[in-house]
Structure 1
Amino acid sequence: MNAKLSNSITELKDRYGIIVIGSGYGGSITAARLASAGYEVCLLERGKEWIPGEFPDEMAEVTAQFRSDSNPLGLYDYRVTEDVDVFVGCGLGGTSLINANVIFKPDDDVFNNSRWPDEIREDRDNGKLNKYFEKANDMLQGAVYPDNRPSLGKIKAHEKSAKDRPGKYYKLNLAVNFEKYNDEPNHVGVHQRPCILCGDCMTGCNVLAKNTLYMNYLPFAKSQGASIITEMEVNYISKADGGGYFVHCTSHSEDKKSRFIHANVVIIAAGALGSTHILLNSRDRGLAVSDKIGHYFSGNADSFGVGYNSDQRTDVLGFGNIRDKRSKIQVGPLILSVIDYRRKELELKDRYIIEEGDFPRAFVDFTRYSMPKISAVAGHDTDFSVIDEASEAARVVRDIAHYDVKGALNHSMLYLGIGHDSADGVIAVDSEGKIRIHWAAAPSKPIFQKIDDEMKQLTKALGGTYIRNPRWTPFFGRNIITVHPLGGCAMGKSADTGVVDHRGRVFDLAQDTSGAVHNGLFVADGSMIPTSLGVNPFFTISALSERIANLIVQDATVNKKPREGALPPPVIISPPLGIEFTTEMNGYFSKSVTNAKTPEDFHKAEKLGKQEGNDIGFKLTAYIDSVDKFVIEPAHDARAEGHIKMGSMKQMVEQGRFNLFIKDPQIHTKRMLFSLQFFGDDGQPCLLDGYKEMRDDPDVDIWEIWKDYTTLFITIHKGNTTRDPVLGQGIVRIHLHDITRQLATIRVRNGSNVKTAFSAKNKFTSFFFGELYETYMKNLLPSQQTHG
């Protein structure tokens, strides 16, 4: 029996040389390499330690392990946000505990994207980056499913479906022990057993066959002296007087205490959502980070589909580590093979892969009962005939009657498509302190439809009924589901383009020097990836983390030793009270009008735009970080996140600002301003510059007030500034029902109790309606005469 890796919380000290936050690929790798270099390392993990043999096997057990506020130690972390659903793991080893084990290197030209720092391209070209890939593969013990093992139904079906398609079929390199270790120590001394082909990789491997981080990097880190503390969730980071950082965290173990721990080096590796959340919380408490924090979120163009009830038996029903009648079939690991559509002559946006999957034991019974109903409502039968219908119906009856390998579900294929999306989603923290992802533009990208269409063709080759991911349908919200979240703390050349540099160092916005960084503060995980990768991403994360760890070891200027002497007390900073609200406007613009100056000019542009069919609109959430600052400062400035809709396409706002009631040099006029940078369909930068004009005019009537407030004059520039050429002009408007919804969306940020929340909301609404009163209403009221 392998020994537990985690230390008791009673062993936690008040300081370390290096603290690593998170035990996914980035965290485990940097902890292992820095500990092996002789530094004192403490790794903090929010989840608990899962020992193989403890993972859930049945549906009730799986359901009980979904993570929530009331169950913070749950293994399965499924986040439902407004535009995207994200599924990741929570436990010692991170998502490696429940992923599909696929070791996949991306195309070299992925790194040609200008978002990647030049140093990454240089290391790709000189061969250094490839050595980091090799180093990671050596530790992860990648292997292809051996030819001498049993021939498996699902990979035979996958290969068959690829024969007349443009993609290339082959078996994948997997982090799975097929035959190397037979209940004996592996390369880091952990006992492993061969894969029994049970298909339960996604719910957790109880066999000791899956090469999770718990089988390699983490035990290696432990053997090199690293401390591992589980059930400890980091909330934010603050700078310490005299150098280093305090890591503010909350224990989910028995004592439930809040703590702060000092380190001279902090490596944030909590994943795309976790690391971004920590840095956003830290920014709210004074840590100066790039304005790009939260940007460049990608779901790696993840797409899901099912080829249900085909003519070919596929053996996709997992049986776990339970020896019963269900274990008589052989499934294999979750993913074994791929159909690769990444031809070099194609642009990256047109390249993708499709991998096969299976149904873990816990989901088999639920799925065989529910799939006939889903198929009847949302399925597309690719080979309709009377005889075929009878065969399909017979297989469905078998499934409904009882578990049967001759049933419809065991004649099905589960597909995962991966490609290149626009990587322009935005991660934010909402008024309740939870992660929110703005990415309404994602479903309109052609790659998702392209992958969906090809999955349908693969299903047709096997004579099945194709069922797309229900969440992607309009009825269920048209949400993307991703198991590969990337970005949020993206690499860049400076704070203008990213959150961290090529070494993973966090840019320091408080310093005037371009490219200045916070000494000793790093990010090393999927959040640093600035683009989609087009393949399963953990191998790339691993290689880049190996690189970051190596550069930290080599850097003599980084103080990696624990602080000596008395620690200064941490400064506990409460985040300012803020406000958020959502606004939506729609209208028309004309490309034939480029020199509108007066309201009459813009109205003409609107009319022409309607005739031309050039509709435009946007949906934005305004984030006011501090109500006090917003009310006092003349600019009344706020961040704006969301999307712009032009025709059928949606484009995410790259950088957005919103200003309320700006006094114009022109007498008796105030303006609301919108400045929204985005990329057009051609990939070129654009700017939507808009203003509402409110006149302090004694002769104004109610109708004029309504028109002023609801009308936004817009100019679209081909570039990022108002000096760039004009693409078109027009008007967007907010309607009465949209105003009602807008008022209902006003939320207080960081309100610790009802009283403070009410105070902040009252301050904002008093300012807003006070400005309206001063501009309009006082002129409509009868003047008061004073009598002596």
Structure 2
Amino acid sequence: MGTPRNIPHHTVVVIGSGFGGTMSALSLAREFKERQRGTVLMLERGTWWTTPVGTVQDREVETYDLLAKKGQPVQFWSSAENFRGFIDIYTRCFRRRSNEDGLYDLVTFGERGLLGMRQNDGVSIVRASGVGGGSLVYSNVTIRPPDFVFDDDRWPTETDWDGVKREEYFQLARDAIGLSVLHALEKRATEHAGATPPPPPPPNPINTGLRNIVTRSAGADPGFRTPPTHPGLKQLDPSRYPDPTAERRADDLWIDRARIFQLHMSKLTSDYGTVDSSINDKPIGDDGKPKNYCERQGRCNVGCLPGARHTLNKQLMTAIHGTPRHPGGDLEGVLDLWPLCEAHLVHARPEGGYEVEYLERDANAPWRTSTRRVSADQVILAAGCVGTTELLLRCKERETLPNLSPALGEGFSTNGDYLAFLDDTDFRVSLTRGPVTTSVAHFNTPEADPTSDVSKFHTIEDQGIPRALASLVGQGVPLLQSLSTGQRKPLFTALAILRYALGRPRAYARALFRNYQARQPQFASEDEHVMDMMCIAAQGREASVGRFRLGRGPRETPLRVERKGGGSFEDDPIYAEIRATLARFAEQLTGDRGGTFRNPFLTPAAELAGARSIGLTHPLGGCRMGRDASQGVVDEFGHVFDASKTGGEPFYEGLHVADAAVIPTALGVNPSLTIAALALRLSDRMIADLPSS
């Protein structure tokens, strides 16, 4: 296949801008800038997103104007903190037909019926669609998996992935997320230079570093303890709670949710503590300049209005376009990003290299598309577990990459994801306050019990609720069930919202005439609606035996998924372990009343609507690592196998995968740090393999 001269060409094209894509693109662009040759292009199917309110570092909201003047499609986070906010999020920010520039892409799998899903494959996945990928919607949690996860034989890491090297890459990933990729790479380079005395660290990181946020305001001392059996953990000390006679109680300044979670988890496991959050909580940076910092608004998953989260769009904007105060990117001319461009096929060229066929959307009418192509010497697929796997399955079916591994689509894992709510707790939990996740508890770890069965390892985290969604508690639960059935056409959405709204005027009319006697519940704030509710997010070592395939026919979804050997994903043994732990936690929070954590995706109402499924945000696998093409789609460095080749280099030369799709097992923790570490390792190998001239 020849290449028409009007097709633009880049050294590397990166598909996707999440953790894998951003780590890879910035690493390679930095190298190309130093070598003064080579360019990197990123293709992102979504738009830019930013805050509509002034922040410490952008008082006049000039970021929006900077991007708009550069011709970049950009949208504001939803900012209303009530039911109006929910309507804004659902109608504008959810990706669906005629709103393809929405951020939240709720993907269901199965066979469609007339009014929704007739047959659900048992999995529903929330994906992000925007510059920065999953970093725009994740819970800011950066957790390293335990070493025993990597002892699984399905990890084909046989070269330099031992404990020491692994920790080096995880530390590099912490710096890349918590400070910035370019800062982290410069820091590593200066440390390896061996100069005496060592040069000062590189200046001007984007962020102020990972933080442990459990107090009501920045700068307050939480009074952590660090137990000798768990080095590095920062915990609430239960021996100091409650102690009304103490001059300084450990919990006085703590966010309610963090205090309640850690206090009661301490009775179930010793392996609990505060998460490393990728959020600024340091109002003054090391350079002495004011920085955006966490204001405890509890809305991390729907957009950080103070601009404190370490979302990757900040790093990409600074590298490509600069900032309002410092226009002009550090990598301008070397790195570029095209938003609203969704990769459709990757074509291998007979003469070497690739052409990426993509759909370019009209920014003013995103349902309108034009098919275009760009060529590259090398391509990195980083569209996420679902996006990358679907793209390669399509390439194999259309024979644009005909020799992909027969293992393509296999090894899908839910990562043990599980979301659950507990009503009517004995304590004020205050779900809307603080960062969305503050604390974590691990179960079945050697640190907690040397006799533990590590195959049952799982993690429980607290999960906050944004005020816009807290407004739905009560009558809003049926609304959420209506909207999660897989049928999201405007008419059905309008009817669901109307059904919810019609019950409100009558209740408010009654409350208006009764409020003088006693305050009516209709006038309670969103904070009060969820004051005595605990929400958790869990992950665990699920079996990783799912398999993706392309849908067939008009009634099937574009991608289908099934569990090897049949059965339901929710029948995996790890979910019994998680539910057992939650039952003990519920007993701690509700006492003799016997409260139960409930998963909204697994209710009878969800089943009746054809929407019963494991709801997840951390899908893994589909293009898993393997030692050869019979076992996996890529090797340990993300090189894509060519099943027709043998010998020492049996790959599609220059074709790589750098996202969650390559992870061969469940991690049992949030995967962002692992994805970043693997992508940085892949980038190092790509740079090492570049020709010297």
TM-score, length-normalised on structure 1?
0.61
1:172 aligns with 2:278: no
- Distance across 2 between alignment mates of 1:136 and 1:557: 26
1:634 aligned residue: none
- Report the residue type matching 2:345 in the other structure: Y
Q: 1:354 to 1:26 in 2, by over 3 A?
A: same
1:450 aligns with 2:577: yes
Q: Write out per-residue CA displacement over residues 205-246 of structure 1, whole angstroms, 9 at most, x where no aligned residue.
A: 121100111233663465223001100000010111311001
Q: Write out per-residue CA displacement over residues 39-98 of structure 1, whole angstroms, 9 at most, x where no aligned residue.
A: 300001000111233111301111022112332211001111222010121100001101
1:248 aligned residue: 357
1:552 aligned residue: 686
2:44 aligned residue: 45
Q: 1:400 to 1:504 in 2, by over 3 A?
A: same
Shift of 1:99: 0.6
Cα contact 1:101–1:335 (8 A) shared by 2: yes
Q: 1:406 to 1:508 in 2, by over 3 A?
A: closer
1:71 aligns with 2:102: no
- Distance across 2 between alignment mates of 1:441 and 1:181: 50
1:277 aligns with 2:390: yes
Cα contact 2:122–2:570 (8 A) shared by 1: no
- Report the residue type matching 1:83 in the other structure: G
Q: 1:435 to 1:272 in 2, by over 3 A?
A: same
Cα contact 1:296–1:531 (8 A) shared by 2: yes
Q: Write out per-residue CA displacement over residues 532-591 of structure 1, whole angstroms, 9 at most, x where no aligned residue.
A: 0011001000000000001000003699xxxxxxxxxxxxxxxxxxxxxxxxxxxxxxxx
Shift of 1:132: 1.3
2:645 aligned residue: 511
2:549 aligned residue: 428
Q: Write out per-residue CA displacement over residues 147-168 of structure 1, whole angstroms, 9 at most, x where no aligned residue.
A: 6434101011102221321353
- Distance across 2 between alignment mates of 1:217 and 1:296: 31
1:97 aligns with 2:111: no
- Distance across 2 between alignment mates of 1:88 and 1:115: 26
Q: 1:285 to 1:372 in 2, by over 3 A?
A: closer
2:561 aligned residue: 437
1:354 aligned residue: 460
Say which structure, 1 or 2, has more relative contact order (CA 8 Å, 6+ apart). 2
- Report the residue type matching 2:622 in the other structure: G
Q: Which moved more, 1:411-420 or 1:166-175?
A: 166-175
1:418 aligns with 2:539: yes
Q: 1:180 to 1:144 in 2, by over 3 A?
A: same
Q: Write out per-residue CA displacement over residues 404-461 of structure 1, whole angstroms, 9 at most, x where no aligned residue.
A: 4784521111101111000011111102571222134321122102212222321221
2:264 aligned residue: 161
- Distance across 1 between alignment mates of 2:385 and 2:395: 16
Q: 1:434 to 1:558 in 2, by over 3 A?
A: farther
- Report the residue type matching 2:455 in the other structure: K
2:82 aligned residue: none
- Report the residue type matching 2:21 in the other structure: G
- Distance across 2 between alignment mates of 1:115 and 1:558: 34
- Report the residue type matching 1:40 in the other structure: T
- Report the residue type matching 2:562 in the other structure: H
Q: 1:260 to 1:161 in 2, by over 3 A?
A: same
Instruction: Trace 1:196-211 onto structure 2 (pairs within 5 A).
Output: 196-211=295-310
Q: 1:13 to 1:558 in 2, by over 3 A?
A: farther
Q: 1:422 to 1:452 in 2, by over 3 A?
A: same
1:258 aligned residue: 371
1:139 aligned residue: 176
Q: Write out per-residue CA displacement over residues 732-788 of structure 1, whole angstroms, 9 at most, x where no aligned residue.
A: xxxxxxxxxxxxxxxxxxxxxxxxxxxxxxxxxxxxxxxxxxxxxxxxxxxxxxxxx
Secondary structure of the residue aligned to 2:636 is coil
Q: Write out per-residue CA displacement over residues 280-331 of structure 1, whole angstroms, 9 at most, x where no aligned residue.
A: 11111211100111110011101111121212111112xxxxxxxxxxxxx1
Q: 1:554 to 1:373 in 2, by over 3 A?
A: closer
1:123 aligned residue: 161
2:438 is aligned, of 336, 339, 345, to: 336
- Report the residue type matching 2:318 in the other structure: P
Cα contact 1:421–1:442 (8 A) shared by 2: no
1:307 aligned residue: 422
**Count of residues in correspondence between the two structures:** 508
2:523 is aligned, of 375, 384, 402, to: 402
Q: Which runs of 5+ in 2 are unaligned?
A: 1-5, 33-37, 53-75, 80-84, 110-120, 179-209, 221-252, 321-328, 482-517
Q: 1:75 to 1:17 in 2, by over 3 A?
A: same
- Report the residue type matching 2:125 in the other structure: V
Secondary structure of the residue aligned to 1:264 is strand
- Report the residue type matching 1:223 in the other structure: D
Q: Taking every aligned residue pair, what percent have the same amino acid on both sides?
A: 28
1:55 aligns with 2:77: yes
- Distance across 1 between alignment mates of 2:478 and 2:654: 55
- Distance across 2 between alignment mates of 1:542 and 1:94: 13
Instruction: Trace 1:579-658 onto structure 2 (pairs within 5 A).
Output: none
- Report the residue type matching 1:472 in the other structure: L
- Report the residue type matching 2:30 in the other structure: S
Shift of 1:531: 0.4
Cα contact 1:29–1:217 (8 A) shared by 2: no
1:490 aligns with 2:639: no
- Report the residue type matching 1:56 in the other structure: S
Cα contact 2:108–2:125 (8 A) shared by 1: yes
Secondary structure of the residue aligned to 1:468 is coil
- Report the residue type matching 1:45 in the other structure: E
1:30 aligned residue: 24
Q: 1:238 to 1:305 in 2, by over 3 A?
A: same
Q: Write out per-residue CA displacement over residues 486-512 of structure 1, whole angstroms, 9 at most, x where no aligned residue.
A: 001111100011000111010001224
Q: 1:552 to 1:80 in 2, by over 3 A?
A: same
Q: 1:374 to 1:239 in 2, by over 3 A?
A: closer
- Structure with the higher fraction of residues in strand conformation: 1
Cα contact 2:582–2:597 (8 A) shared by 1: no
Cα contact 1:101–1:210 (8 A) shared by 2: yes
- Report the residue type matching 1:130 in the other structure: E
Shift of 1:140: 1.6
Q: 1:519 to 1:194 in 2, by over 3 A?
A: same
- Distance across 2 between alignment mates of 1:101 and 1:172: 9
- Distance across 1 between alignment mates of 2:255 and 2:520: 21
TM-score, length-normalised on structure 2?
0.69
Q: 1:220 to 1:132 in 2, by over 3 A?
A: farther
2:470 aligned residue: 364
1:223 is aligned, of 308, 330, 346, to: 330
Cα contact 2:43–2:341 (8 A) shared by 1: yes
- Distance across 1 between alignment mates of 2:88 and 2:529: 25
Instruction: Trace 1:526-565 onto structure 2 (pairs within 5 A).
Output: 526-556=660-690
Q: Write out per-residue CA displacement over residues 671-700 of structure 1, whole angstroms, 9 at most, x where no aligned residue.
A: xxxxxxxxxxxxxxxxxxxxxxxxxxxxxx
Cα contact 1:41–1:226 (8 A) shared by 2: yes
- Report the residue type matching 1:123 in the other structure: W
- Distance across 2 between alignment mates of 1:60 and 1:192: 31
- Report the residue type matching 1:468 in the other structure: R
Q: 1:103 to 1:403 in 2, by over 3 A?
A: same
- Distance across 2 between alignment mates of 1:218 and 1:134: 24
Shift of 1:146: 6.4
1:194 is aligned, of 258, 270, 293, to: 293
Cα contact 2:445–2:454 (8 A) shared by 1: no
Cα contact 2:473–2:529 (8 A) shared by 1: no
- Distance across 1 between alignment mates of 2:550 and 2:666: 22
- Report the residue type matching 2:89 in the other structure: V
Q: 1:218 to 1:511 in 2, by over 3 A?
A: farther
